A and B are shown apart, each in its own frame.
Chain A
Amino acid sequence: MRRIALAAVAASGLTVMLAGTALTDETNWGAYEVGDKRSGYTYAAAETRSIQDDDFENPAMLWVDTGQELWDTVEGEAGKACASCHDDAAVSMAEVGAIYPVYYEPRGKLINIEQRINLCRTENMKAKAWKWESRELLSMTAFVRNQARGRPVAVKIDGPAAPFYEKGKEFYYQRRGQLDMACKSCHEDNAGNMIRANLLSQGQSNGFPTYRLKWQKVGSLHRRFRGCNSQVRATPYKAGSDEYVNLELFLADRGRGLPVETPAVRN
């Protein structure tokens, strides 16, 4: 199987190489490894891991700090701050980061954390929605999800969420783009292998929003999806699209049990 997958990748014009030793890796990764699931942390270089390990070395904590400030800031016609209704985020937001996306009855579909935050802004605060990938939305998402740091990812995929989960799963296994590759081609068939100069991980979502050394800033999971779609020369979907939110639920379930790491640091 592996050999076949590799041949397909090579044919699509990408260099993939087996790092055989990585596959027989016996390292104990502690909480970053649950069964055969491994966080992107376990594929990162030691230096990158050590930046994530210390909240005073992790530059993403600057975004979390900004989120904390925004949490207490009154905005909008209702004259409220997040804290007016939710008080202490450490208590009220303790779980959110581990259980989103969720099915949202009024819209008859899934919403993720970014969308939940913007719902509160438009409906409860009578304030403008924050733009996707804006400093504000990234900071608040990182802040909210950081409250659940260490909790195992535990999304709901049954009941009304089930059909959306199925759509996300379909998306994950569907080949696309000029290179005709699915998410699976890289993150399941080739996790632990090199692609160009990158060590492929399982493509887990537990650390988002993430500080990427490449971006030199914090970015959302949907930005990452867009990048992974573009790499196989497929047209990316819009950040916040139903397709990506469904995919987000599938990925969360795929990484079920891995701890929320937000804000992670990755290459």
Chain B
Amino acid sequence: MNESKQYRDVSRRQALIVVGAGGLAAAGLTLLPQAASADAAAVDAAIKGLIGGKTPQAGRITLDLPQIAENGNTVPITVEVDSPMTEQDYCKAVHIFADKNPQPGVASINFTPACGKAKASTRMRLAKTQNVVAVAEMSDGSVYTAKAEVKVTIGGCGG
């Protein structure tokens, strides 16, 4: 399995070289045409709206995302927050943002202690290469954040 990963990485890196900046814009266009993109400031504002004046700290969140998405229509994401998930101490929610999508909000995931584990996966649309930001709210009021970049190449051809 390791071997196959290596193989993919090599060929996908080359895909990027061919695509270049113009190709990336084109990918954004086919996916979400005519839309202005959000930006880091909009994401910050959205985060503030959710958590108020608190300052998010780094740590406790594991973000599993492809470095390069084969197709921006369907980018798998898994978030996991390090938490005992007891009535006294649990992760309440994880909010996911994409800073260069037309709207930065992707999803808010709400956990309860009955989950046993603060881990969830879904799939999202990314208009272009950008940062994906996760913000976790804990039951004690503390807030954590993590960020990862996903490169998006053109999706598909013909069809």
Please measure, in the bound complex, the distance between the C-alpha atom of A214 and the C-alpha atom of B158, giving whole angstroms. 10
| Chain B: minimal CB distance from A192 (Å) | 8
Q: Report if A31 contacts B (CB, 8 A).
A: no
- Contact partner of A213 (CB less than 8 A), chosen from B4, B17, B73, B157, is B73
Are B159 and A47 in contact, CB atoms less than 8 angstroms apart? no
Please measure, in the bound complex, the distance between the C-alpha atom of A212 and the C-alpha atom of B154, giving whole angstroms. 14
Please measure, in the bound complex, the distance between the C-alpha atom of A45 and the C-alpha atom of B8, giving whole angstroms. 6
Q: Report if B52 contacts A (CB, 8 A).
A: no
Are A199 and B158 in contact, CB atoms less than 8 angstroms apart? no
Please measure, in the bound complex, the distance between the C-alpha atom of A27 and the C-alpha atom of B74, giving whole angstroms. 26
Are A198 and B157 in contact, CB atoms less than 8 angstroms apart? yes
Are A194 and B11 in contact, CB atoms less than 8 angstroms apart? yes
Are A199 and B73 in contact, CB atoms less than 8 angstroms apart? no
- Cβ of A51: which chain B residues have Cβ within 8 Å of it? 74, 76
| Chain A: minimal CB distance from B51 (Å) | 30
- Cβ of B66: which chain A residues have Cβ within 8 Å of it? 45-47
Please measure, in the bound complex, the distance between the C-alpha atom of A110 and the C-alpha atom of B27, giving whole angstroms. 39
- Cβ of B23: which chain A residues have Cβ within 8 Å of it? 196-197
Please measure, in the bound complex, the distance between the C-alpha atom of A227 and the C-alpha atom of B14, giving whole angstroms. 24
Are B10 and A19 in contact, CB atoms less than 8 angstroms apart? yes
Are B10 and A22 in contact, CB atoms less than 8 angstroms apart? yes
Are B15 and A199 in contact, CB atoms less than 8 angstroms apart? yes
Are B19 and A228 in contact, CB atoms less than 8 angstroms apart? no
Chain B: CB-nearest residue to A214: B156
Per-position contact with A for B62-78: 1 when CB-CB < 8 Å, else 0?
Answer: 00001011110111100
| Stretch touching chain B among A130-138, A216-224, A254-262 | A216-224
| Chain B: minimal CB distance from A178 (Å) | 14
From known contacts A213-B156, A227-B159, infer whether A17 and B70 are also in contact, taking CB-CB under 8 Å.
no
Are B71 and A26 in contact, CB atoms less than 8 angstroms apart? no
Are A27 and B7 in contact, CB atoms less than 8 angstroms apart? yes
Are B19 and A197 in contact, CB atoms less than 8 angstroms apart? yes
Q: Interface on B for A, CB 8 Å cutoff?
A: 3-5, 7-8, 10-12, 14-15, 17-19, 23, 27, 66, 68-71, 73-76, 153-159
Question: Could you give 6 example pairs across A and B, Cβ below 8 Å?
Answer: A22-B10, A47-B69, A198-B157, A199-B11, A214-B155, A267-B70
Q: Interface on A for B, CB 8 Å cutoff?
A: 15, 17, 19, 21-22, 25-29, 44-48, 50-51, 194-199, 212-216, 219, 223-224, 226-228, 230-231, 267
Q: Which 10 A/B pairs are nearest by Cβ-Cβ distance?
A: A214-B156, A227-B159, A227-B158, A231-B158, A45-B70, A197-B154, A213-B71, A197-B153, A21-B10, A213-B74
